[in-house]
A and B are shown apart, each in its own frame.
Chain A
């Protein structure tokens, strides 16, 4: 099975900051990676798929990069509504697996 790790597990930032979250797969997954945002009490929302493709309707301040085993989610200028938990997910092999999450908090 493919294990997904994320760092940091939590991060504090201010509105307007640039934030980067990393995700690492335990083995090669090509570009088969997604990023989700989850707010308390809500279902996750797909932000990025295929490592760097922006889901329809997602603001352009979100971007994804990477391939192979190392991936990055970047938020270029934090907005108040971006404070949430972010998960990566690999879609290369079954069983699908998610990272443990990164909680983005207001500084």
Chain B
């Protein structure tokens, strides 16, 4: 069974870049049938899709974040990464990675990483 383990800094300063990684175990991240997504949830609020990608490099982003977000796959580490630049307090949220049908449905999720944007 697939397992996802997210990690990254819990505190990021305004205007800096938020960087998170998600290690996938129990399967190859580069499987042709797999895709991976990032979703976030501000404290006390609902879920917001950030973007989805696969090993093929076909990546889709939420237009509201497209200018600041990059999602990539590192097959050597079996992990998917999220970078969000120029963060503000509005980017404070729990960030989740999910897959392996990340283009469509999110079967497995990591535990979530709370990222606070504050100086």
Q: Contact: A95 with B49, CB < 8 Å? A: yes
Q: Contact: A46 with B46, CB < 8 Å? A: no
Q: Contact: A95 with B60, CB < 8 Å? A: yes
Interface centre among A32, A96, A97 (most CB of B within 10 A): A96
Interface size in chain B (residues, C-beta < 8 A): 22
Compute how far the CA of A96 lies from the CA of B110 in the bound complex, rounded to whole angstroms.
19
Interface centre among B49, B60, B96 (most CB of A within 10 A): B49
Q: Contact: A101 with B46, CB < 8 Å? A: yes
Compute how far the CA of A34 lies from the CA of B107 in the bound complex, rounded to whole angstroms.
10
**B50-80 CB contacts (< 8 Å) to partner A:** 52, 60-64
A67 an interface residue at 8 Å Cβ cutoff?
Answer: no
B11 an interface residue at 8 Å Cβ cutoff?
Answer: no
Contact pattern, B 100-119, Cβ under 8 Å of A = 1, otherwise 0: 00011111011110000000
If A94-B60, A96-B52 touch, whether A43 touches B46 (CB-CB below 8 Å) is no
If A34-B105, A43-B110 touch, whether A98 touches B49 (CB-CB below 8 Å) is yes
- B46 → chain A, closest Cβ, in Å? 5
If A95-B60, A95-B62 touch, whether A87 touches B47 (CB-CB below 8 Å) is yes
- B8 → chain A, closest Cβ, in Å? 16
**B17-59 CB contacts (< 8 Å) to partner A:** 37, 46-49, 52
Could you list some 9 contacts between A and B, CB below 8 A?
A1-B63, A34-B106, A44-B96, A89-B105, A95-B49, A95-B61, A96-B52, A99-B46, A100-B46
